[in-house]
Structure 1
Amino acid sequence: MPRPIGWLSSVDGQGRENIAPYSQWQNLTFDPPMVMFSANQYPDGRRKDTVLNTEETGWFVWNMATYDLREEVNKSAQVLDYGDSEWDRLSVTKEYADNHRIPMVKESPVKFECQCKTTLRVPGSDDAARAGLEGSA
């Protein structure tokens, strides 16, 4: 069965915008409301842009990825150089979060503006499995 996809948007300290699909995310609790996502590293040890951006700014947005948005979600899965924005390749409308200037997908019916509470690096069996991130909405 396919896993639900969380479409995470973030921005780095220089204002460069990023969006990427994540299948390893979960609602943790409702009081306080918390969302968690997990991000493996690249095999060469580089960490994902979403993780770097979230740690740098303290914020990310979870956008619900729906069936109608599936083609755009797939486009955003491309591996690009750090600082290159997937947003430039998408046919969606940007709107900005209230708490931190992060772009969100206007067409997404549900969006959570999340403040990062902690990062937990979990040991894995290889270099690609050594990074994780927890955040809070």
Structure 2
Amino acid sequence: MSTQHWGDDYAHGAPPHVRHRRHRKWPWVLLAVVLLLAAGCAAIVVVLAGQSGKTVRVRYEVTGDAKGVSIAYSTWQDGAVVTQKEGPRDLPWRKELETTEFEKGGLLAVTTGKSGGTVSCSVTVDDRRPWTATASGREATATCSGF
């Protein structure tokens, strides 16, 4: 029969030295970071989804002395920005739309004809400060964009 020697501590009634496995913290930290990122992304999606259902009023206005101008402006249909065109036409010109699919990136561009003149465009989204631009000359373009 063999006996194991556990050292002097065991001889005095103390149990043999037991090594405890050290728990790694980095997997828990990584898990917490991933969960925070997922929660942040979910919050952004909820906020954006809430904005897409909101009705937005977009008012376009073109003034000036130019005759036979061409007008291109954005509308929002089925989640896409679509460009509508009108012209040649005389000024002033106004258009107002309401949409629930509004996304930034709209455009209003007005081009004078060969006879020239001056044109000014203005776009107002809801009651915010309007985007404006002016152009003068033959075949000059005033562009209001980024609204």
TM-score class, shorter-chain normalisation, is under 0.3
Bigger strand share: 2
TM-score, length of structure 1 as denominator length: 0.25
The higher radius of gyration belongs to 2
